[in-house]
């Protein structure tokens, strides 16, 4: 079991909660024709987010994988064209969520709290962020 969060390209995601959830379920079927450990396949803003996020939460797999398998901050990232799904150790939930949300805002990507019921979905706009209800 892991604590799961996701960032996404807001230009690819639908703006209503129901449509977003259908899109999310399609994205997490992992049917794109590439491996999901290589950040070179993702949208440019997501790549910037990833490059900064892995400074604190290094990846478990892929070209930037951590050699320290005992580090609880090591995170399993699944990198798609429009989403990056992050599976954290539960012991990291209190630090991972605010870090991921803050960097999403910084880099202008969306944020979805996968692990909570009716999880928070935030989309960047020209004004402050807004939630999909």
The pLDDT of 103-110, averaged and rounded, is: 95
pLDDT band at residue 103 under the 50/70/90 scheme: very high
- For 126, phi and psi rounded to 5 degrees? -70, -30
- pTM over cut 0.95: no
Sheet (strand 110-112) strand order: 76-79, 83-88, 3-8, 110-112, 121-123, 130-131
């Amino acid at each position: 079991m892991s604590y799961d969060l996701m960032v996404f390209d807001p230009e690819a995601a639908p703006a209503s909660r129901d449509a977003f959830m259908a899109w999310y379920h399609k994205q997490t079927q992992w049917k794109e024709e590439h491996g999901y450990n290589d950040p070179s396949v993702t949208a440019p803003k997501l790549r910037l987010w990833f490059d900064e996020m892995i400074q604190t939460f290094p990846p478990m797999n892929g070209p930037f994988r951590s050699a320290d398998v005992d580090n609880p901050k090591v995170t399993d990232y699944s990198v798609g064209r429009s989403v990056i799904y992050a599976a954290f150790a539960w012991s990291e939930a209190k630090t991972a969520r605010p870090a991921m949300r803050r960097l999403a805002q910084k880099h202008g990507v969306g944020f979805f709290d996968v692990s909570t019921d009716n999880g928070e979905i935030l989309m960047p706009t020209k004004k402050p962020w807004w939630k999909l209800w």
